[in-house]
Amino acid sequence: MVPSPGPDRSGAGNRRLGDHTRGDVRAPIAAGNASEKEIKGFYQFLVDWEKQHLEALRTLYNSVRQDFFSAGSFSPF
């Protein structure tokens, strides 16, 4: 069993799902600063892959949120 890394002190846990305005931007910066085409391509692949993960999680979150609101007869607006 792998031990827990401990509490997240990065502040990432304080963001809402989909709030990427304060997210980690190292991969895009690394992609822009990479000198070799293959390395740039790899970093861009990672950026695109993570964007797909974000969109999938955002869609799932919104669906679950809507189900939760509907089950409680609640509308935020």
**What is the pTM (predicted TM-score) of this model?**
0.50
**Using one digit for the tens of pLDDT, what is the confidence trace for 7-18?**
545 444 444 444
Per the structure block, which two tokens stand in for 71? 């089950």
Query: Who contacts 13 (Cβ-Cβ below 8 Å, separation ≥6)?
Result: none
Contact (Cβ atoms closer than 8 angstroms) between residue 31 and residue 47: yes
Domain spans, the chain: 24-71
34: number of Cβ within 10 Å: 15
Q: What is the pLDDT of residues 30-50, one digit of tens each?
A: 666 777 888 888 888 999 999
